Amino acid sequence: MNKISPWAKIQIGIAIIVFSTIIADAPALSADKKVLNILSWCDHEDPALLRPFEEKYNVRINVKGYDGTAMALKLLKKQSKGVPRLMHLLVALRTKVALDLIDNSKPGDWDIFVVDSIDVRRVVKRGLLAPLNETDFPWQDIFPEIRRPELHHVDGKLYAVPEKFGYNAIAYNSKKTDPADMRDAAVLWNPKYKGRIAVWDYYIPVIELVAIGMGIKPAELNQSHLPAIKAKLLKMKELSPLVGDVDQVQAALAKGRVDIIAAGGEFAVASLQKENPSLDWVLPNQGGVRWQQAIGVFANSKKKDLAVKFLQYVLSPEGQGRLATAACYWAMPANSKADLAPDQKKILRWDEQPEFLANSFFYIQRDKALDNAMQKVWKAFLKH
């Protein structure tokens, strides 16, 4: 039998405590029709977003934020060979954490679900989301590239509406780098910036960004490309003093320990620009990676009408402006008519969105063999 290291045993104990806390925090089924329970991410917890809706409808919104931490820690006890880096699991298993939470809740506990767009179909197959009327939402105002009916529709029915998106590209300090260099993805392995590049520890967007920089379209990426991608990654590692999670690489850039974040984007620097205007981000000319999130109504919700009204508010120009600039993290609103001030649009590079949308690629759709091969390459990068 494989032994579990003492470090892993400690983490397993933490996992049990953390996961139990998440389950305990699930809302009790309430007969109060003036409470909406939302399972979401931290950007939907911002009072600036919630307050207008609460006041208009005399409703209290209870938001339970979730991420992949508890599940990643919980899975450590299933690992037989050492302790893996957690960042892969934190992002990839975020939806799984929510599903586990839902499974331990009562039918009707939750009203609204915010989920990665790529996971909408998976959630629908579980019977968790109610179909929506497309005419209830400003569908034609949503950026065409973000609509992605193959992600948000199942059997011709709409189940979730895209609400926010952003990029894994290059974040940087404009005073300590040449901004023109940042528009070339090859800057990530350019010796000119040795010791000044931090890498976000998530294999999918980083490998995809490297592939794009090499002229490989993500949809065409296969195992035959991985040796060349690995070579570029190893060059990056030689130049990079830090490979870390979002908080770590963001802090390193903000404090001047590094000048570039590989796979960084507006989410890493937009909220910091008022304090430090030199922090910026850009999509390389070769292209970048695009992520997006969606919002839907739980099939078992007893407050579907009110829940739909909240979705309509979030998709309205006002709601989109507030969601895009939420205190937790900024990103692009899905609605092209979002209510944003000129300085906010500048930070989000609003005028460049047509080019960015046309020149960005969604996360790679991987089969098991390709995913395993990509993870093997990433492990070699981390050990280098």
Rounded to an integer, what distance in angstroms lies between the CA atom of residue 198 and that of residue 254? 12
Which tokens is 69 given? 């931490």
Could you give the percent of the chain with pLDDT greater than 90? 74
Q: Please give the single-letter amino acid code of residue 80.
A: S
Q: Is 111 left (phi over 0), alpha (psi -120 to 50) or beta?
A: alpha
Rounded to an integer, what distance in angstroms lies between the CA atom of residue 27 and that of residue 49? 21
Specify the pTM.
0.82
pLDDT the model gives residue 9: 37
pLDDT the model gives residue 67: 59
Question: Residue 81 pLDDT more than 70?
Answer: no
Residue, of 116 and 196, whose pLDDT is higher: 196
pLDDT the model gives residue 43: 92
Every domain of the chain and the residues it spans: 6-165+292-346, 166-289+363-383
Do β-strands 332-333 and 60-65 pair in parallel, antiparallel, or remain unpaired? Answer: unpaired
Query: pLDDT digits over 295-320, tens only?
Result: 999 999 999 999 999 999 999 999 99
CA dihedral 297, 299, 300, 303 (to 10 degrees): 40
Question: Residue 22 pLDDT more than 70?
Answer: no
Question: Residue 206 pLDDT more than 60?
Answer: yes
Question: Residue 44 pLDDT more than 80?
Answer: yes
When computed from its CA atoms, the radius of gyration of the chain, rounded to whole angstroms, is: 21
Domains 6-165+292-346 and 166-289+363-383 share a fold: yes
β strands within 338-381, DSSP E: 360-362
99 three-class SS: helix
Query: pLDDT digits over 84-135, tens only?
Result: 344 344 444 455 545 555 555 555 678 999 999 988 998 999 999 999 999 9
- CATH architecture for the domain at 6-165+292-346: 3-Layer(aba) Sandwich (3.40)
Question: Residue 240 pLDDT more than 90?
Answer: yes
Residue holding tokens 């300085």?
Answer: 343
Closest alpha carbon to 154 in 289, 338, 252, 299: 299
Rounded to an integer, what distance in angstroms lies between the CA atom of residue 144 and that of residue 363? 17
Query: What integer is the mean pLDDT of 217-226?
Result: 95
Q: According to the CATH classification, is domain 166-289+363-383 in 3.40.190.10?
A: yes
pLDDT the model gives residue 101: 57
Question: Residue 281 pLDDT more than 60?
Answer: yes
Range with the poorest average pLDDT among 11-20, 85-94, 173-182, 225-234: 11-20
Query: What integer is the mean pLDDT of 222-226?
Result: 97
